[in-house]
Amino acid sequence: MKNERLFEILLYLIEKKDTTATELAEKFNVSVRTIYRDIDSLTLANIPIYTTSGNQGGIHLMENYTLKKTHFTPEEREDILLALKTIQSIPSSSSDSALKKINTLFQLPQQAESWLEVNFSRWGTNNIFDNELFQTIKENILQKNQIKIEYANSNGELSTRTIEPIKLIFRFKNWYLYAYCHKRNDYRLFKLNRIVSIYPTKTQCGHTQEYVPYSFNTTASSEPQITFIAIFPIKVAHYVYDIFSPNNIEILSSKELKVSTKINDTEWFRSFLLFFGSNIKIIEPQDLADAIRQIHLEAAHV
């Protein structure tokens, strides 16, 4: 715990250069005496920190001080590079400079930082719209401005929404925007791939003080949950593994596999099941099997 605090104090000083023991004590929720002991520990570790007294006194870090690679373990260096490379793949990210500086600092061999490539862009596109969309959302989240979007919901219906953007979320291969929706008078998730167009406004958000933290679990609990059991032929296994966890999939034979899980019965889930056509046999629940069968029958009579 102390070592973590020492490192955080050092990072804080690198950013601020000058601070006070009182300010650090409040930030790290410890006593002023503890802060002075921490400063002594950092000084003993050859970190060029000095203190001054008087009205303008405080704790200072010498100019031009930079972290040395010896402050990090090899595992920590890899974690930092992984984080930066992931951020670098986000549209409109400006992490290139930071990644180059970290690589120079760590002096890692070429293969050490090139073992992973992360790319969030969609297949078969030049990604221009995605970049502009992501950048516009990011800017308006930081500026706390409302935006208007044209959005296609899961039923294929287009609607114009005025929303107050709060947070970008990446979950299971997809980007989502968590925002307060004026049309619904509630907090909603918007899938970025379904945002058809976006229009920034200069109107400040009005619900930032009433922000309700988002949770996938709490949102999911608002939908009916079912025990789902179904049999699939092996030839569609790649689609099954796209959605269901391997822990919920049982290989029955060289021709079949079985899925057993608890899942929320949503319109999206039913649409996903329809995609399989005759390549699915729903065991439970029976009412879901009946509903999917009825949709297929109605489609056959169009």
Q: Which tokens in the block code for residue 15?
A: 């950013």
Residue 113 near residue 103 (C-beta atoms within 8 A): yes
Q: Which CATH number fits domain 2-61: 1.20.910.10, 1.10.20.60, 1.10.10.10, 2.60.40.1930?
A: 1.10.10.10
Q: Which residues of the chain have pLDDT under 50?
A: 218-221
pLDDT of 11 reads 79
What's the token pair of residue 127? 């990604």
In degrees rounded to 5, what are phi and psi of residue 244? -100, 150
| Nearest Cα to Cα of residue 148 among 156, 136, 159, 160 | 160
Residues of the chain with CATH 1.10.10.10: 2-61
Q: What would the CATH number be for the domain defined by 128-220?
A: 2.30.30.100
At residue 87, the pLDDT reads 64
φ, ψ for residue 90 (rounded to 5)?
A: -75, 140
CA distance 175 to 149: 16
Q: Spell out the residues 6+ positions from residue 179 whose beta carbon is closer than 8 angstroms to its own.
A: 163, 164, 165, 166, 187, 188, 190
Interior/surface letters 228-266, b for 16+ CB within 10 angstroms, e for the rest: bebebeeeeeeebeeebeeebbeeeeeeebbbeeebeee
Burial track 54-71 (b if 16+ CB lie within 10 A, e otherwise): eeeebbbbeeeeeeeeee
For 102-146, the pLDDT digits (tens) are 665 555 555 555 566 666 666 665 566 677 888 899 899 989 999
User: Encoding tokens for residue 265?
Assistant: 């019965």
Helices (H), the chain: 2-16, 21-28, 32-44, 74-88, 96-106, 110-113, 128-143, 216-220, 237-243, 267-274, 286-300
Question: So what's the pLDDT on residue 297?
Answer: 85
pLDDT 10s digits, 6-29? 878 887 888 788 899 999 999 888
Residue ranges matching CATH 2.30.30.100 in the chain: 128-220
What lies within 8 Å, CB to CB, of 77 at 6+ separation is: 69, 106, 108
- The token pair at 192 is 């970025």
